[in-house]
């Protein structure tokens, strides 16, 4: 069992569920059963959820493999905590007004952090 990865996977799973519910509510609000009905807010909600689905599973898998391979628990926890914080920041940055300070302060650092975590987790497995 991977106690650290398991715990953070559960938290990230709950976050993904919340993002999914937000998309479903947006689709209901704009009566968009498929697609985004041309609604910018719904487009952003869909991309927030999709971005999560694109990055989090592989990143989480790589971190879990590191935990299984015996990487120092403190490093595994740091990667997982950073991933959770980045994924919590990302939606707020995506929903901020275009070119606003909040967008730049939250969105870009969140995705850069996710990329760095993915890279580090992969490199640790190769080392």
pLDDT digit string (tens) for 61-107? Answer: 999 999 999 999 999 999 999 999 999 999 999 999 988 888 889 99
pLDDT score of 98: 84
Of 101, 65, 102, 99, the residue nearest 80 (C-alpha): 65
pLDDT score of 103: 86
Is a pLDDT exceeding 90 seen at residue 8?
A: yes
Is a pLDDT exceeding 80 seen at residue 1?
A: no
Number of domains in the chain: 1
Rounded to whole angstroms, the Cα distance separating 74 from 107 reads 26
pLDDT, mean over the chain = 96
Domain range for 79: 3-126
Of 51, 61, 58, 53, the residue nearest 6 (C-alpha): 61
Tell me, what CATH number does 36's domain have? 1.20.120.550
pLDDT score of 12: 98
**pTM for the full model?**
0.93
Task: State whether residue 81 is helix, strand or coil.
Answer: helix
Contact assessment for residue 33 and residue 27, using Cβ atoms and an 8 Å cutoff:
yes
pLDDT score of 126: 97
Mean pLDDT across 112-122: 98
Q: Which residues are within 8 A (CB) of 19 and not within 5 positions of it... i.e. 6 or more apart? A: 45, 48, 49, 52, 91
Encoded tokens for 99: 């070119």
């Amino acid at each position: 069992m991977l106690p650290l990865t398991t715990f953070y996977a559960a938290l990230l799973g709950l976050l993904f569920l919340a993002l999914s519910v937000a998309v479903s509510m947006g689709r209901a609000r704009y009566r968009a059963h498929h697609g985004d009905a041309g609604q910018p807010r719904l487009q952003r909600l869909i991309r927030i959820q999709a971005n999560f689905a694109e990055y989090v599973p592989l990143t989480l898998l790589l971190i879990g493999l590191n935990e299984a391979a015996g990487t120092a628990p403190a490093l595994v926890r740091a990667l997982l905590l950073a991933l959770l914080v980045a994924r919590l920041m990302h939606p707020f940055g995506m929903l901020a007004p275009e070119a606003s300070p909040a967008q730049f302060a939250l969105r870009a650092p969140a995705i850069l952090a996710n990329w760095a975590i993915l890279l580090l987790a992969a490199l640790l497995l190769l080392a």
